[in-house]
């Protein structure tokens, strides 16, 4: 009865009697269904996604459960048992998506439409394509009755986009359900070069978010806090952030500079190490490739302003929210101190506010069975390159890295036409990209988990 009600309310998953379809088609069907479930955060309602995943898992006899403190925002955890010759492999993906302004989309963002070889929908890239692929791989292993050497776990966590409460609850309250030797997550991507090769970016580290609040208060006598706040915001937004190299970014720059497409990096490497020339070198990098620049400098950008609600009269208080993305090795206190120095106005208060307290974590190591297995799977041609990568976009990975689980953003999907439509209007993924990606995931899982 519950299955019938769920099908009426949302979408009905693939029937078990149709279980002989190819793996890429299975992933496409799951993705289409997932895109039809509106899990916009806020408010999330990720339980809708969790219940869909449970229906699929139940059809194939996969052990699973829905857990979490909020009935509307449950996490989904499933497990296929292995022989226990190795500790589990965890596959993870978040079930929420960012808001979509329907007025600016050319299609309904929650219909999962296929047009011109692309599948459109909010979450098509971030992160339901990965979730659909992971679900398809787990189902295929179960359907074929493949006996693995280690357990395979699937986690769909709630609230990644707006607070990471889902993964924090899992770590603090249900860690045994997801404890693993290593994990696969979002954050990686494939870059196709002009020379015909592919660069597989395995995310091993990432920038860390922090939300900063600027507050200007009126001191009376015609003082206008809006004016003082505006000056402060402009100084923050226009300032160049200092260059900060990490172990991951140094290796990435060195490996990429050896490629023909990125040979222009070579003469800049030594300059980045010199404090006198680092800023100018980073500016040259930003002019050629802003994404590489984001790996070596923190960012500060204003996101919201609030002052009075009357057209006449000076408000007593003006506030601005600034999103900070700091690099590993930089503390929140250092970033706040830098903001105060940039503003250079003691009458403007600067404080950390809201957002998850993301733990500091070392980069995931490159000597694990999982990383080596991905290298083996991805390097099928002499021109292909595998590199560790520090992503500018934060994920839930640091919460697991801090508990000793290496997490890798797996590069399954090509950055199509050099663009990234995640979080943007008309978010989409090509059917071929999804098909190739789920096949890569299948190979990685079997290579790392092995057959009994």
421 pLDDT more than 90:
no
- Residue 260's Cβ-count burial label (10 Å; 0-12, 13-18, 19+) is exposed
Check if the beta carbon of residue 160 is closer than 8 Å to that of residue 394: no
Confidence class for position 125, pLDDT limits 50, 70, 90: very high
* Lateral strand order in the sheet of 118-120: 114-115, 118-120, 428-430
What percent of the chain is modeled with pLDDT above 70?
A: 95
Backbone angles phi, psi at 135, to 5 degrees: -60, -45
For 231-263, how does the pLDDT look when each residue is reduced to its tens digit (9 = 90+)?
999 999 999 999 999 999 999 999 999 999 999
Confidence class for position 18, pLDDT limits 50, 70, 90: low
For 172-221, how does the pLDDT look when each residue is reduced to its tens digit (9 = 90+)?
999 999 999 999 999 999 999 988 899 999 999 999 998 999 999 988 77
User: What pLDDT was estimated at residue 452?
Assistant: 57
For 278-293, how does the pLDDT look when each residue is reduced to its tens digit (9 = 90+)?
999 999 999 999 999 9
Check if the beta carbon of residue 127 is closer than 8 Å to that of residue 52: no
312 pLDDT more than 90:
no
User: What pLDDT was estimated at residue 13?
Assistant: 57
User: What pLDDT was estimated at residue 15?
Assistant: 45
């Amino acid at each position: 009865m519950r299955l019938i009600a769920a099908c009426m309310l949302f979408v009905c998953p693939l029937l078990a009697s149709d279980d002989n379809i190819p793996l890429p088609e299975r992933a496409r069907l799951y993705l289409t269904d997932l895109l039809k479930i509106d899990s916009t955060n806020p408010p999330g309602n990720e339980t809708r996604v969790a219940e869909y995943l449970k229906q699929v898992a139940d059809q194939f006899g996969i052990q699973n459960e829905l857990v979490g403190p909020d009935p509307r925002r449950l996490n989904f955890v499933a497990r296929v048992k292995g022989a226990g010759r190795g500790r589990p492999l965890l596959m993870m993906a978040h079930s929420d998506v960012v808001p979509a302004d329907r007025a600016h989309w050319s299609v309904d963002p929650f219909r999962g439409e296929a047009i011109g070889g692309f599948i459109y929908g909010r979450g098509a890239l971030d992160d339901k394509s990965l979730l659909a692929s992971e679900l398809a791989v787990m189902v295929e292993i179960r359907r074929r009755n493949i006996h693995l050497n280690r357990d395979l776990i699937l986690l769909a966590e709630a609230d990644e986009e707006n607070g990471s409460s889902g993964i924090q609850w899992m770590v603090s309250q249900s860690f045994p359900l997801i404890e693993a030797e290593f994990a696969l997550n979002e954050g990686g991507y494939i870059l196709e070069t002009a020379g015909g090769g592919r660069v597989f970016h395995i995310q091993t580290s990432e920038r860390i978010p922090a939300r900063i609040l600027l507050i200007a208060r009126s001191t009376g006598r015609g003082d206008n806090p809006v004016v003082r706040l505006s000056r402060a915001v402009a100084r923050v937004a226009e300032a160049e952030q200092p260059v900060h190299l990490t172990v991951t970014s140094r290796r990435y720059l060195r490996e990429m500079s050896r490629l023909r497409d990125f040979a222009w990096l070579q003469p800049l490497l030594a300059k980045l190490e010199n404090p006198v020339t680092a800023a100018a070198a980073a500016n040259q990098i930003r002019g050629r490739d802003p994404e590489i620049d984001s790996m070596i400098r923190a960012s500060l950008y204003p996101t919201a302003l609030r002052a009075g609600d009357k057209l006449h009269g000076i408000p007593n208080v003006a506030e601005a929210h600034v999103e900070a993305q700091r690099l590993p090795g930089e503390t929140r206190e250092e970033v706040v101190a830098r903001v105060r120095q940039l503003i250079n106005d003691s009458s403007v208060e600067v404080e950390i506010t809201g957002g998850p307290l993301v733990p500091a974590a070392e980069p995931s190591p490159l000597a694990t069975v999982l990383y080596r297995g991905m290298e083996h799977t991805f390097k099928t041609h002499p021109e292909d390159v595998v590199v560790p990568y520090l992503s500018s976009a934060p994920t839930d990975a640091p919460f697991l890295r801090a508990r000793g689980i290496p997490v890798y953003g797996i590069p399954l999907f090509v950055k199509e036409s050099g663009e990234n439509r995640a979080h943007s209007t008309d978010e989409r993924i090509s059917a071929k990209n999804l098909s190739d990606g789920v096949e890569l995931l299948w190979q990685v899982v079997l290579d790392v988990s092995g057959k009994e």
